[in-house]
Structure 1
């Protein structure tokens, strides 16, 4: 009798953690075949993409190779992109894999499943704003982060010789005052100091202008007002120009046009405002909301099919009567943990557990030495407010917790040691 096949589509924080847990509990014992499908060959923790975009994070050292990881954690990795679903036959359709020149490496394929988990994360939502796709960088994937870093380095290189400057300042516009926009703005100013120190540019941080633009009345609207105010004060002290209650009606080459008609001249634009699930999810025949998120029950099963699950940013999971689970990394980790138990329960003919989101607090990084946030939140408490060095250490520990979930304690400990050594052996940022 063939063992059941569990297919996980998406190797982000939640998908990789789920594949690792199922590999240890089911794959190792040959109770199920666990397959992880992702279009990329490697994994980078998404909350660190802003560091990858500025060169602070070296992806060749921090990325996880799916093939190597799968061989030691008892699941199977397949490279590919989902582009269709046949629920009656329990088959997903995979797009062909092409080279950069458009040559076919692997043809279109089909992959059978007994249980399907959609963990495809989210992408930035440009809300149909004119010119954004053509003139703004997005930082939703390692490829996009690296593309921004290349463009950033080239832009700074134009200012290597002060005599060749065409502008008095290098200006970067960031649309979206959520965690990504806030963290990127701080990292950019820190990166400008390093680029000046390494001789990449003649500009110093005082001649770099960063505009952070948010449509809501304050930064970080999903977090507490105290965190928002503290973060804005820190950004003001760094020299970031913060614009709240400001929408963007059009993006053009080298400038952004606000809803009031104001023009902000820029050398680089980044769009980090709002999120949505990948658009093709709404075309799979499953019930989705207006953000393309698959609607699921509290057991994380699709409302249309009990053999299909969705988790993380691509799922709309009820939380209370009128709200849903927020699209945050800690929610994806919690759902991965519960879903691993539920899939084991299915094979053991036990009832499924309903998901309850627990907000453990939020931390926002402000470059290498600072962070702001709160921890140990609950329904009855706003938690412990943190800022400064201690908050930064807590923020760094979140990545170590992610590494623990996918590597285990011994390898995570060794990785921590290697990272400490590389602080002395390697440049403080990737310069190519």
Structure 2
């Protein structure tokens, strides 16, 4: 397997970040701006895709209320602007003794090879490849349900939704039961946000001339959760507020309900009922990607994630860090782990940036200190609910409505600022506000 040629700056400390999600891309950008720009280290980002989209936006992509092209960031361009190198490839293995990351070949839509399998040497490695959907072995999920872990999956669901509506508009026979029904399995943040966003987006879609479809009669959204209530990570009062809002929109909320299988006809419940549904979304859980078990003996923890020390170094190799959803990072409380949230990945990226600087100075690593700033869940244009932690001297502040919505939007702006700086973020925001006035409010193709 060939090794990528080393850039002219030989002898520099080689830092490789695998995974260009929220944490990985922020880390590579900040390492490039500080160490790469000043010639103190050689920084490389590896990802199996060519562009980045902030993961909390995926439910809007799936509903068709957000155009991916307006928000995607090309890795090659980001690398050029911020003094790091981008490698297109997928992590398939690791040689810790030789300090080499093994990358698999990539192919285009026609099956032609784009890049060969190759190796990337490192001195410090950061694994930030995120998570994958956990179907808990439920029959039929892989064949009949669509997860929302990647941009391609969100686009795929949106295409199926559009096709289902156009099919219903043009078919000779009446719209059959379940034909325009959407079942969302898992009522955490992703599932709940998707339900609210779909309610608005489907009605906007129908308004563009699909007059044969009656939204109140033909479109049905069902949100299914095994826990006793939706949004189990939020305080009960906010969960109840979200439930009340969704039910007021006509969304069927089924908490305390387990799914036994997903079929071509719909969702089979554990109590024997069948919910007819042409479109099924699975957002009930995540786990570490299977490749983590093939990384030269690195220890795995719960949910197939990499076990890490309090410093975020992996337990069996101090030169390898793991951050984000792929890392089982100890959290507050006995035996607790940090939840898969963008704020955790952001804080971990900042921590690893400091530890790499300390390492280059010959200093010992410091433990990671997580600060929980709370959780916010967007219910589309209808509302936002959440809790802000540490606002009132260690206590939590529950927020709803317009203020919470502004706070939710600010999270994305903070991510953009970390990647582009305030000036470019502000200019991009103004540009999108102007172009939105001349475009459809929902994706139509």
TM-score range, shorter chain: over 0.9
Q: Secondary structure at the match of 2:339?
A: coil
> Any idea what SS the aligned residue of 2:304 has?
coil
CA–CA distance in 2 between the matches of 1:388 and 1:77?
41
Aligned to 2:53: 44
Asked if 1:340 is matched to 2:363, the reply is: no
Higher mean C-alpha deviation, range 391-400 or range 369-378: 369-378
Equivalent residue number for residue 111 of structure 1? 120
Q: Deviations over 1:147-177 (max 9, x none)?
A: 1111110011122258643325621111001
For residues 114-139 of structure 1, the C-alpha deviation after alignment (integer angstroms, 9 at most, x for no partner) is 01100011122100100100000111
Question: SS at the partner of 1:160?
Answer: helix
Q: What is the distance in 2 between the residues matched to 1:346 and 1:384?
A: 38
Aligned to 1:353: 366
Take 2:384 and 2:173, find their aligned partners in 1: how far apart are those partners?
37
Q: Hey, what's the Cα distance between the residues in 2 that align with 1:402 and 1:202?
A: 42
Aligned partner of residue 168 in structure 2, secondary structure? coil
Once the two structures are TM-superposed, the CA of residue 286 in structure 1 deviates from its matched residue by 0.7
1:76 aligned onto 2:120: no
Deviation >3 Å, runs of 4+: 161-164, 376-382
Aligned partner (choices 167, 170, 189) of residue 179 of structure 1: 189
Contact 2:376 2:408 in 1 (8 A): yes
1:45-94 Cα deviation digits (max 9, x unpaired): 00000001111111111000110111011111111000010000000111
Partner of 1:147: 156
CA gap 1:340/1:217 in 2 versus in 1, 3 angstroms: same
Q: Distance in 1 between matches of 2:251 and 2:321?
A: 42
1:408-428 deviation per Cα after TM superposition (whole angstroms, max 9, x unaligned): 011001011012112212111
The structure 1 residue matched to 2:411, chosen from 374, 398, 409, is: 398
* Residue aligned with 1:110, SS: strand
Choose from 236, 250, 268 the match for 2:279: 268
The answer for the alignment partner of 2:3 in structure 1 is: none
Distance in 1 between residues matched to 2:294 and 2:209, nearest whole Å: 49
Do 2:88 and 2:115's aligned partners in 1 also have CA atoms closer than 8 Å? no
**Shift in alpha-carbon separation, 1:376–1:263, aligned structure 2, 3 A:** same
Contact 2:93 2:103 (C-alpha < 8 Å) held by counterparts: yes
Which ranges in structure 1 are unaligned for 5 or more consecutive residues? none
Tell whether 2:434 aligns with 1:421.
yes
Q: Partner residue of 2:6?
A: none
Taking the aligned partners of 1:162 and 1:150, their CA distance within structure 2 comes to: 18
Contact (CA 8 Å) 1:8, 1:37: kept in 2 or not?
yes
Of 180-189 and 360-369, deviating more is 360-369
On the 8 A contact 1:374/1:385 being kept in 2, the answer is yes
- Provide structure 2 residue ranges, at least 5 long, that are not aligned to the other structure: 1-9
Q: Match of 1:159, SS?
A: helix
CA distance in 1, matches of 2:97, 2:374: 42
Partner of 1:289: 301
1:277 is aligned to 288
Partner of residue 194, structure 1: 204
Judge which range, 331-340 or 281-290, deviates more. 281-290
Residue 15, structure 1, aligned to residue 36, structure 2? no
TM-score (norm 2): 0.94
- Please tell me whether the aligned partners of residues 101 and 120 of structure 2 are also in contact (alpha carbons under 8 angstroms): yes
Matched with 2:230 is 219
For the Cα contact (< 8 Å) 1:55–1:149, is it kept in 2? Answer: yes
Q: Does 1:303 align with 2:315?
A: yes
Q: Distance in 1 between matches of 2:213 and 2:418?
A: 41
Partner of 2:252: 241
Q: Distance in 2 between matches of 1:378 and 1:88?
A: 47
1:314 equivalent in alignment to 2:323: no
- Residues 373-429 of structure 1: per-residue CA shift (max 9 Å, x gap): 122446964422221222112111111111001010110010110121122121112
RMSD: 1.5
1:216-239, CA deviations, whole angstroms, 9 ceiling, x for partnerless residues? 111111221122111111111111
TM (normalized to structure 1)? 0.97
